[in-house]
Structure 1
Amino acid sequence: MGSGRLVYACLVPHPPIIVPEVGGQETARVAATLQAMHELAAEVAAHRPEVLLFISPHSIIYRDAVAVLAANEFRGDLGQFGAPQVSFHVPAAAELAEAVVEHGRQAGVSMAEVRSSNLDHGVMVPLYFLQRAGLQVPVAIMGFGLLPVAQLYRLGRAINAAIQETGRDVALVASGDMSHRLLPSAPAGFNPQGEVFDRRIREAVAAHQVEEILGLPAELVELAGECGYRSLVMALGGLDAYQVEPEVLSYEGPFGVGYLVARWKITGPAEGMTMGQRWVRSANDPGDGAGRAGEETDPPIGGQEVSPAVRLARQALETYVRSKQVISPPRELPPELGARAGVFVSLKKQGQLRGCIGTTLPTCANVAEEIIRNALSAGLEDPRFPPVRVEELAELTYSVDVLQPGEPVHDLSELDPRRYGVIVRSGRRVGLLLPDLEGVDTAAEQIAIARQKAGIRPDEPYQIEKFTVVRYH
């Protein structure tokens, strides 16, 4: 089809309190944000987009893949925020969603199509204002992955290619709040780096200093406790092919969370190499998916003896894929397979992650049974990837991590990403990150990835445990 256009792009906050039916009298404290959202929504409507594409930090988030929701329609309401009467029922832009997945994969980014028709508040809050401005159009929704910044930027460029393929005019809505740590009373507590982060983002967006945004230190981003940085990076990637006029419409943080409303007016095609392209090149982004943050390291090759744990994992998956039979553990087990422990099984294909599923605590009679179950889950049920096919079996490499008992962590100084994995808990939600992963170099990065895997927001309390693993190749 072709000739689709990105006609508008914006960065918007999503606190439900700015919706009058939720915030009531408290909306007076976010008057600047409220006015900016109405102004922005009217501008978007004036551009007459045929589709709205949302990037939401409260959609489905994976560590090493980007989820795009696959549905015929989306539904949701703000009932959990006390306003069930504010409800939404919108058609899905399935063609754009499929094109984003395809172009993302062509760009070397792991993409996951996830069947879900649920709207999260990262979408519903800005959609509230857009619909009241008269926009009643199909929507596409995606999250982001906890991937290197260069990959997320490259995915943004792939999004623009997908838009062009669909032949539709699209407005891109990057949803996200700034620091959640601006005041001592803030939900996530206070950190002085929160104000630093917000100021640098605000100034860089206003001046369209793409390299400044992409090059922010990872530690600063983590200390800020934000939820909008990755959405912003992807949006900037989507704008990479254009000349733009940026404008910050408002910024405030009366409740300790930064609310930034910004827009980019597209004025024409970009000329020559853009600032973002220069930064990506200087960051040595390979452009082929290599070097993703958090991917398990490659198992050793070259004639080394395969461990019984890996041999069992391979046998379990290959047997099931070929004959649909679930194997039983050997009758006589070596000591390391006869104990009980949580186990993670990781699969790689040509150096790229192909599946990783595990259990934090033992669920089976022994490690051997745990390996069999998780090998099948990694190969067949990881929602980021399609099930492994017979023709892929010979290309797969396996690693098995057997978790050792954990212990509480009271300070980040107790962690070492090379030696310890981490478990982050908040209620029933649990996020785990294995130790010694490529691209994860600091304890702050470990915690951030594990927290986001569990869907734990920066403003929620959580507990941390550390553990070691025995890794088999």
Structure 2
Amino acid sequence: MSLQGFYLMPHPPIVLPEVGKGEEQKISCTSMSLQAIGKEIAQKAPATIILVTPHGTMFQNAIALSYEEEIGGDLKKFGASEVAMKLEINKILTHKIYELASAEDIPVVLATDSLLREYKSSVFLDHGTMVPLYFINTYYKTYKLVHITYATLGDIDLYRFGMVIQKACEALKEEAVLIASGDLSHKLKEEGPYEYSPFGEKFDTEFVRHLQEGNVMGVFGMDKELICNAGECGRRSIAILLGTLEGRRFQGELLSYEGTFGVGYGVMKMNVVAEDASKLRELEAVKNGNYEKKQNQRDPYVRLARESLTSYLNLDKVQEKLPNYITDEMKSMKRGVFVSLKKHGELRGCIGTIFPTTENIAEEIRRNAIQAGVHDPRFNQVEKEELLEIGFSVDVLTEPENCSKEELNAREYGVIVRSRGKTGVLLPNLEGVNTVEKQLEIALEKAGIKPYEEYMLQRFQVIRHKEE
């Protein structure tokens, strides 16, 4: 047997009457759609439900498969301790998925209580799992569970993991359905859980449309900045779901979409309509093409940053000569420079200098690119294999000038605060920093300066260079 159902289900605890206490009526369409899926799954009567969640115990570099006899949890932290579940894990299918994924070099881990004890955690049912299952359990309870927490891996690895799930079900002749648990943008309204962003609605509209059209390449081809600024938690769950549909054409049937509380709740089922050509090869071709494009950047600033870190990781030394594409400005001017690395839209390293520490901009870029990849204390050292999935940006700072608070603009100017040998710096145009007050609050906190202390203000601008 292969997977018999494919569903996107959001997980807002407020949709449950025990949590919402009347507020759930404001998202009644979501509730009715979740109930419809519960009824449909009851009719299919699968032996196993496979659920991918963002909210279990997450490992940064490995997909976690819960591997105990049972898994339980409740919604106590949402004020509803009476909503509790204990489910049997399908350990045979779970281990088969682990075995096949390991053979494909996809990073996975069997999450047991003994392993998680090292991280002061244990196997548990999270709200990303319990909310969808609440609606299924209303109509159907005789199933085992495969509980998966995704990791921040690349899209292709997530897609390949989905293919592994399908293969494991076929190998064991397992009757199962797959649920991709996830909300869409959390930034649809000012009163939402995160500050409003115009990227939120744009992401939701585009993402849902691609799924409705069965456009796998469209989903994976979405703009990385759009994804990063949308504040979503369902895209990686869907990336895995799409992998389970490899070789099949589908259409997404949208049962409902609501954004009442500033978070996008999309309920959808994927209907298989025909066989299809492999999308994996297309995805790999796009990935390789993007890497070639990155290696041949026309912008000399980001090209130098990438080549500097790449050369250091490959040869364990700094390039002796500057490349011949370096401009006269990069060789003659001294400026502070920040080099940022992002992997799958998320920060992977950033090191910068407010004032120049080397003889020119080019040397500043070279030094800071290596520092960002190797010595940023917040992250492990970048591995050579990661470079394919990392994007580089270079911010060149103008010379700081003294200013008053009234002359600041959080979008246009970065800020430097100084007091008694303590200094704090914040770049301009940062997500979530929309006011001068917020900008100063963060900069002062970074410097360890109390808001009531006297301090000097300076502002600077940033010329940003990004890979195409």
- TM category (shorter chain) comes to 0.5 to 0.7
The residue that corresponds to 1:230 in the other structure is 236
Structure 1, 192-201 or 210-219: larger mean CA deviation: 210-219
The residue that corresponds to 2:28 in the other structure is 31
Report how far residue 87 of structure 1 moved. 0.6
| In the alignment, structure 1 residue 441 sits paired with structure 2 residue 391 | yes
The residue that corresponds to 2:95 in the other structure is 98
Q: What one-letter code is carried by the residue in structure 2 that aligns with 1:163?
A: C
Structure 1, 173-182 or 233-242: larger mean CA deviation: 233-242
Report how far residue 221 of structure 1 moved. 0.8
| In the alignment, structure 1 residue 280 sits paired with structure 2 residue 284 | yes
Change (3 A) 1:135 1:19: same
After superposition, the C-alpha distances for 1:174-214 in whole angstroms (9 at most, x for unaligned) are: 00000010011111111100110000011111111111001
d(CA) in 1 for partners of 2:351 and 2:264?
A: 40
Change (3 A) 1:404 1:12: closer
Report how far residue 420 of structure 1 moved. 3.5
Which of the residues 412, 417, 432 maps onto 2:378? 432
d(CA) in 2 for partners of 1:182 and 1:213?
A: 20
Change (3 A) 1:55 1:406: farther
Partner SS state of residue 288, structure 2 = coil
Report how far residue 246 of structure 1 moved. 2.3
d(CA) in 2 for partners of 1:111 and 1:298?
A: 30
Change (3 A) 1:281 1:135: farther
CA RMSD of aligned residues (A): 3.6
Q: Rg larger in 1 or in 2?
A: 2
Q: How does 1:126-145 map to 2 (within 5 A)?
A: 126-145=132-151
| In the alignment, structure 1 residue 73 sits paired with structure 2 residue 59 | no
Q: How does 1:227-266 map to 2 (within 5 A)?
A: 227-266=233-272
Report how far residue 267 of structure 1 moved. 4.8
Q: What one-letter code is carried by the residue in structure 2 that aligns with 1:113?
A: L
Q: Which ranges in structure 2 are unaligned for 5 or more consecutive residues?
A: 114-122, 290-308, 318-348, 355-367, 395-431, 433-437, 447-468
Count residues with an aligned counterpart: 326
d(CA) in 1 for partners of 2:150 and 2:261?
A: 26
| In the alignment, structure 1 residue 202 sits paired with structure 2 residue 208 | yes
The residue that corresponds to 1:20 in the other structure is 17
After superposition, the C-alpha distances for 1:350-388 in whole angstroms (9 at most, x for unaligned) are: xxxxxxxxxxxxxxxxxxxxxxxxxxxxxxxxxxxxxxx
The residue that corresponds to 2:372 in the other structure is 420
Change (3 A) 1:157 1:8: same
| In the alignment, structure 1 residue 188 sits paired with structure 2 residue 194 | yes
The answer to whether the Cα contact below 8 Å between 1:179 and 1:198 also exists between their aligned partners in 2 is: yes
Q: How does 1:101-112 map to 2 (within 5 A)?
A: 101-112=98-109
Q: TM-score, normalised by structure 2?
A: 0.63
Q: Which ranges in structure 1 are unaligned for 5 or more consecutive residues?
A: 286-295, 305-400, 408-415, 425-430, 445-457, 467-473
| In the alignment, structure 1 residue 83 sits paired with structure 2 residue 80 | yes
d(CA) in 2 for partners of 1:303 and 1:5?
A: 48
The answer to whether the Cα contact below 8 Å between 1:77 and 1:84 also exists between their aligned partners in 2 is: yes
Report how far residue 98 of structure 1 moved. 0.7
d(CA) in 1 for partners of 2:180 and 2:281?
A: 20
d(CA) in 2 for partners of 1:443 and 1:422?
A: 16
The answer to whether the Cα contact below 8 Å between 1:92 and 1:138 also exists between their aligned partners in 2 is: yes
Q: TM-score, normalised by structure 1?
A: 0.62
Q: What one-letter code is carried by the residue in structure 2 that aligns with 1:172?
A: L
By relative contact order (CA 8 Å, sep 6+), the higher-ranking structure is 1
Which of the residues 150, 165, 168 maps onto 2:174? 168
Partner SS state of residue 432, structure 1 = coil
d(CA) in 1 for partners of 2:267 and 2:393?
A: 31
d(CA) in 1 for partners of 2:198 and 2:77?
A: 31
Q: How does 1:354-369 map to 2 (within 5 A)?
A: none
The answer to whether the Cα contact below 8 Å between 2:211 and 2:251 also exists between their aligned partners in 1 is: no
d(CA) in 1 for partners of 2:151 and 2:205?
A: 25
